[in-house]
Amino acid sequence: MSGLFSAEAWNKVWLYRGTFLLGLESTALTALFGLILALVIGIVLGLFATSGKKPLAFVARVYVEVIQNTPVLLQMCFLYYALAFSDLSIGIINTGILTLGIYHGAYVAEVVRAGIESIPRGQFEAAASQGFGYLGRMYYIILPQSIKIILPPMVNQVVNLIKNTSCLYIVGGTDLISVTYNFVTGENTGGAYAPAYILSGLLFFIVCCPLSSLASMWEISLKKRDVRSGQKARSAERMV
Amino acid sequence: MEALKGSFSIITNPAVFAYIMKGVGFTVIISVVAVLLGILFGSILAMVRNYCTSGKTRIFQWMSVAYIEIFRNTPLLLWIFICLVFCPCPEVLNQKLWGLSSAEVKLLFKTAVALILFTSSVIAEIVRGGLNSVAHGQFEAGHAQGFSTVQIMLYIVLPQAFGNIVPTLLSQVITTIKDSSYLANVATIELMSRVKKLLSSAYRYNGLNTVNVSDVFVLFGFACLVYFIINFSLSCVVRSLQKRKKQQPRIQGR
């Protein structure tokens, strides 16, 4: 099994542990800045989509459809080679941050839109009638209510974003997956397939599992609360 | 302008066009096969995770939970690399098939296995959502009618569960079509990898002896268009199904 039970192979991985940690750091860095960009794009487009103004909503719709229906790997290659062949190279990490930000921005936009649309129309009207401006209405009335609907799928997006940093491999990145593959195929370090893959998978798991468990637990508790409040509303109806 | 004309002449070259279209075929076939097998394995995983909760069967539940969580929290590319090394390939496939070399056929098999394993874990969670949406009274009613547990699953619970998740499963086809592009990292079989390979040899086809930035736009733009057409039409189907489902309960309920 290519070194699963060989002490030598495990030793090799232990010797080069710094490489894996550097890969993890690069993955984390790409994911972090990618997330920030995705949040900015997503919130702006999500507000566009729910603004009620046709042209803005149309822009958001087109962006989301185009980005969500093409693979992130293709977008990465497109951006990377388009920049490289026009002598504008911005570095692999920056390309990765930009691509992941653009790609997940579309998903964040959908999450934000769904969150805002879940708030009853009356809340907007009530806020407007109390004299709130657009920003005040969003900030004080709408966002606090929609945040609990937005957060669980948002956390899932973060997990996907972390996993998608692996697409940097195709343009020769230094993220965790690329580092792992270079390690197992390297001239001096090659051969320790099983230990290297286990370590790299474990690192991803340690980062992603708490996040995705948190998201699903959140979702379940929200659903339970919905059921409970639904029952309460129904029994209230009956009493009336 | 000349560069752009050269770039378009790559795609209009009949041999190149056929090469790309074959890639499109592989992309669609791989994804559909992965989702179909994913539904099979995913349903088993989901049922085990949901219903093997007592006594000795507990261990199967743990295994299923471990499988789903491990695959959900690690990237697909890692599993492609793992399958390249560890997945055994049947001897039958050691030959030329469908215009691929024997090495490529083996790569196709191994990477497809990785995609199927990965997709199963995602579909398992979708099916579990469907199973949870079936009211518990259905089990009791089934038992009361003298059905065995297997019969209840087959005739009562699964049909309802799948009825509820058809749109989600279809949108999983979209995701899998996008995920299949990860195969481009290791083999030149499907659309993404073929376009990338064409870019690196574009100088041979555009008649200019250099690779220009317009080649990037034309080739990758064309691939984007193909992916978009396939996925957008699928997502339109998903949306119309969801709309119909929202209206249905009201009609049936009253």
Q: What is the mean pLDDT of residues A203-213?
A: 87
Instruction: Give the pLDDT confidence score for residue B251 in this predicted structure.
Output: 44
- Across the interface, whether the CB atoms of A74 and B192 are under 8 A apart is answered yes
- Averaged confidence pLDDT in chain B: 83
Our measurement of the distance from residue B16's CA atom to the centroid of its chain's CA atoms, rounded to an integer in Å, reads 26
Closest by CA to A76, choosing from A34, A40, A36, A42, is: A34
Place of tokens 């907007």: A124
* Closest CB to B73 among A82, A170, A208: A208
Q: Is A163 in contact with B74 (CB distance < 8 Å)?
A: yes
What is the number of H-type helices and E-type strands within chain A? 10, 0
Mean pLDDT, residues A81-107: 87
Average pLDDT over residues A143-151: 84
Least confident range of A86-100, B93-107, B128-142, B225-239: B93-107
Residue of A nearest to B173 (CA): A69
- Categorize the per-residue pLDDT at A234 as very low, low, confident or very high, splitting at 50, 70 and 90: low
Q: Is A215 or A10 the better-scoring residue by pLDDT?
A: A215
Q: Would the pLDDT of A13 be above 90?
A: no
CA–CA dist A59, B27 (Å, integer):
29
Among B144, B146, B166, CA closest to B240: B166
Closest by Cα among A12, A9, A3, A23 to A177: A23
Q: How far apart are CA B212 and CA B203, in angstroms?
A: 8
Of B74, B82, B220, the CB nearest to A74: B220
Domains in chain B: ranges and CATH: 2-253 (1.10.3720.10)
- B113 vs A22, B69, B119, B163, CA distance in Å? 30, 18, 10, 27
Residue range B61-72: average pLDDT? 88
pLDDT score recorded for residue B253: 40
B199–A169 CB contact, under 8 Å: no
Q: Are A69 and B226 in contact (CB under 8 A)?
A: no
Lowest mean pLDDT among A34-38, A143-147, B170-174: A143-147
Among B251, B216, B155, which residue's Cα sits nearest to residue B6? B216
Mean per-residue pLDDT for B100-112?
82
Per-residue burial over A125-140, b if 16 or more Cβ lie within 10 Å, else e, is eebeeeebeeeebbee
pLDDT at B105 over 80: yes
> What is the overall mean pLDDT for chain A?
83
Most confident of A133-137, B41-45, B94-98: B41-45
> What DSSP element (H or E) covers A19?
helix A17-49
Entry pTM: 0.84
**Chain A residues 89-148 with CB within 8 Å of chain B:** none
Q: How confident is the model at residue A107 (pLDDT cuts 50, 70, 90)?
A: very high
**Predicted confidence band of residue A105 (pLDDT cuts 50, 70, 90):** very high
Predicted confidence (pLDDT) at residue A131 exceeds the cutoff of 70: yes
Q: What are phi and psi of B87, to 5 degrees?
A: -75, 120
Tens of pLDDT, residue by residue over B11-26, are: 777 778 888 888 898 8
Is residue A236's pLDDT more than 70?
Answer: no
> What average pLDDT does the segment B228-248 reach?
85
Nearest CA in chain A to B226: A70
- In chain A, the residue whose alpha carbon lies closest to the alpha carbon of B172 is A69
B211: Cβ contacts below 8 Å, ≥ 6 apart: A85, B199, B200, B202, B203
Alpha-carbon distance of B44 to B31, in angstroms, equals 20
B155 in contact with A at a CB cutoff of 8 Å? no
Q: Report the gap between the CA of A51 and the closest CA in chain B (Å).
A: 22
Please, what's the b/e burial string for A50-79 (b: 16 or more CB within 10 A of its CB; e: otherwise)? Answer: beeeeebbeebeebbbebbbbbbbbbbbbb
Q: Considering only CB atoms, which chain A residues are within 8 Å of B212?
A: 85
Q: Which amino acid is at A141?
A: I
Q: What tokens does B203 get?
A: 């100088």
Q: What is the pLDDT of residue A4?
A: 64
Position A26 pLDDT exceeds 80 = yes
Average pLDDT (A182-193) is 73
Mean pLDDT of A199-225: 85
Asked whether the CA dihedral A231, A232, A237, A240 is positive or negative, the reply is positive
- For residue B37, what pLDDT is reported? 92
- Asked whether residue B183 carries a pLDDT value surpassing 60, the answer given is yes
What's the mean pLDDT in B91-112?
A: 78
Of A73, A169, A204, the CB nearest to B181: A73
| Sign of torsion over alpha carbons B160, B135, B130, B252 | positive
Averaged pLDDT, A180-196: 75
B100 pairs with which residues across the strands? B97
Q: Do A78 and B73 touch (CB under 8 A)?
A: no
CB contact under 8 A, A85 and B212: yes
Instruction: Give domain A7-239's CATH superfamily.
Output: MetI-like (1.10.3720.10)
What is the mean predicted confidence (pLDDT) over A86-112? Answer: 88
For A238, the token pair is 């009956």
Tell me the C-alpha distance between A25 and A29, whole Å.
6
User: Which candidate, A102, A104, A120, places its Cα nearest to that of A153?
Assistant: A104
Cβ neighbours of residue B89 under 8 Å, at least 6 residues apart? B106, B109, B110
Least confident of A171-180, A196-205, A218-227: A218-227
B84 vs A contacts (CB less than 8 Å): none
Q: Do the Cβ atoms of B198 and B219 come closer than 8 Å?
A: yes
Which of B27, B28, B70, B74 is the best mutation test for A, with the most CBs of A within 10 A?
B74
Whole-number pLDDT of residue A36? 93
Query: Does pLDDT of B42 surpass 50?
Result: yes
Percent residues over pLDDT 70 in chain B: 93
Average pLDDT over residues A40-65: 88
Nearest CA in chain B to A172: B185
Inform me whether the pLDDT recorded for A83 exceeds 90: no
Instruction: Kindly state the percentage of chain A with pLDDT values over 70.
Output: 90
Residue B56 has pLDDT above 60, yes or no: yes
User: What is the pLDDT at residue B254?
Assistant: 36
Query: Residue B136 phi/psi, 5° resolution?
Result: -65, -25
Is the sign of the CA dihedral B120, B74, B237, A219 positive or negative? positive
